[in-house]
Amino acid sequence: MGLEDYVKPGNHIFAERGVYDHHSIYVGKAKVTDPSSGKTRKLKYPVIHFGGNNSNIKGKASDAPCRKCFNKHGDPGVTLTCFHCFQKGNMFSTYRYDVSFITFNTTKNGTCTTASCDEPDVVIKRAYAFLHNQNFGDYSFFFNNCEHFATACKTGKARCNQAAMGFGVAGAIVCKTARRLRW
Ligand SMILES: [Zn+2]
């Protein structure tokens, strides 16, 4: 069984990273350019994700660039990387959309939403647009994080899972505070 048995292009996936999870969009196909030779090649199992200068998300800036995707680990912003650089050997799951309120309220925060998502090709196009334009803004743990990025790609609107219930920014704080209490 390959990874393609578990994830489909356009899926929103998240990997456990200790105290919180890291979110990304699996885009299925990508090409990367080797900065040393300038040669372009296909990247297997590519994901697009968003992070700040946080070692939990990006790894150490001193880490050598990945030999598959050339990710430099310390780069903030929207990045295209191989699955390994995203997953870092941790468990990963698929984020669920269109769940019922009962499911939403009884499931761990940051794993599902009642919102509907768009078709995979739309989702992938949005992720690539954010990557190419680098216009998702500055990373903020509370207001503009990796989950906001992935949900924005999926639905066209950045959201924390609580924001789906109409709490907006206040909900984002409640969500993160609630998670922090369980750490
Ligand atoms: Zn990599």
CA of 87 to the centre of ligand 1 (A): 10
**CB-count exposure of residue 116 (10 Å: 0-12, 13-18, 19+):** exposed
CB-side neighbour CA atoms (13 Å) of 50: 30
Q: Give every CB contact of residue 127 below 8 A, 6+ residues apart in sequence.
A: 25, 27, 48, 78, 153
pLDDT 10s digits, 117-134: 999 999 999 999 999 999
pLDDT at 17: 81
Residues across the chain = 183
pLDDT band at 169, cuts 50/70/90?
very low
**What does the alpha-carbon distance between residue 104 and residue 106 come to, in Å, rounded to a whole number?**
6
Q: Cα(39) to centroid of ligand 1, in Å?
A: 16
pLDDT digits (tens, 9 = 90+) for 35-49: 889 999 999 999 999
What separation in Å is there between the alpha carbon of 82 and the centre of ligand 1?
A: 4
Domain boundaries, the chain: 3-181
How far is ligand 1, taken at its centre, from the CA of residue 65, in Å? 8
Calculate the dihedral angle through the C-alpha atoms of 56, 61, 63, 67, rounding to the nearest 10 degrees.
Answer: 100
Q: How far is the CA of 18 from the centre of ligand 1 (A)?
A: 20
Question: What is the whole-number distance in angstroms between the Cα of residue 120 and the centre of ligand 1?
Answer: 23
How far apart are the CA of 112 and the centre of ligand 1, in A? 26
At 161, the pLDDT band (50, 70, 90 cuts) reads: low
Q: How far is the CA of 73 from the centre of ligand 1 (A)?
A: 9
| Residues 102 and 23 sit within 8 Å (Cβ to Cβ) | no
Model pLDDT for residues 24-82, shown as the tens digit of each residue:
999 999 999 998 899 999 999 999 999 875 544 555 656 788 999 998 876 789 999 99
DSSP class of residue 121 equals H
Dihedral pair phi/psi, residue 51, rounded to 5°: -155, 170
**Mean pLDDT of all residues in 83-109:** 91
Give me the phi and psi of 127, to 5 degrees please: -60, -45
The CATH architecture one would assign to domain 3-181 is Alpha-Beta Complex (3.90)
Distance 99 CA to ligand 1 centre (A): 32
pLDDT score recorded for residue 93: 94
Question: What pLDDT score was predicted for residue 62?
Answer: 61
